[in-house]
Amino acid sequence: MIFVYIILIILILFGIAYWLFMSSYSQLFGRFPYRVKVGKKIIALTFVDGPNEPYTSQIVDYLNEKNIKATFFEVGECVRKYPEITKKIYQSGHVIGNHSLSHVFKNYFSSLAFNREIDDSQQIIEKCIGVKPALFRSPWLFRQPWLLMSLKQRELQPVSGLFCHALEVFQPSAKRIARRTIAKAKPGTIIIFHDGVESKGGDRSETVGAVKLTVDELIKKGFSFVTVDELLDVPAYL
Chunked in runs of 10, what are the mean pLDDT values of the chain (238 residues)? 70 68 78 94 98 98 98 98 98 98 86 93 98 96 88 97 96 98 97 95 96 98 98 98
Question: Position 58: which residue type?
Answer: Q
pLDDT at 15: 67
* From the candidate CATH numbers 3.20.20.370, 3.30.9.10, 3.40.640.10, 2.60.40.3140, the one assigned to the domain spanning 31-232: 3.20.20.370
16: enclosing H helix or E strand: helix 2-22
Provide the whole-model pTM: 0.93
Sketch the domain layout of the chain as residue ranges.
31-232
pLDDT at 143: 84
Using DSSP, state whether 48 is helix, strand or coil: strand
CB atoms within 10 A of CB 66: 13
Distance of CA 105 to the CA centre of its chain: 15
Report d(CA 103, CA 74) in Å as an integer: 10
pLDDT at 47: 98
pLDDT at 211: 98
Instruction: Let me know how many helices (H) and strands (E) the chain has, helices first.
Output: 9, 8
Please report, for residues 47, 123, 140, 155, 183, the alpha-carbon distance to residue 166 in angstroms, rounded to integers and kept in the order given.
Answer: 15, 32, 12, 31, 13
pLDDT at 19: 65
The closest alpha carbon to 179, from 204, 209, 159, 202, belongs to: 209
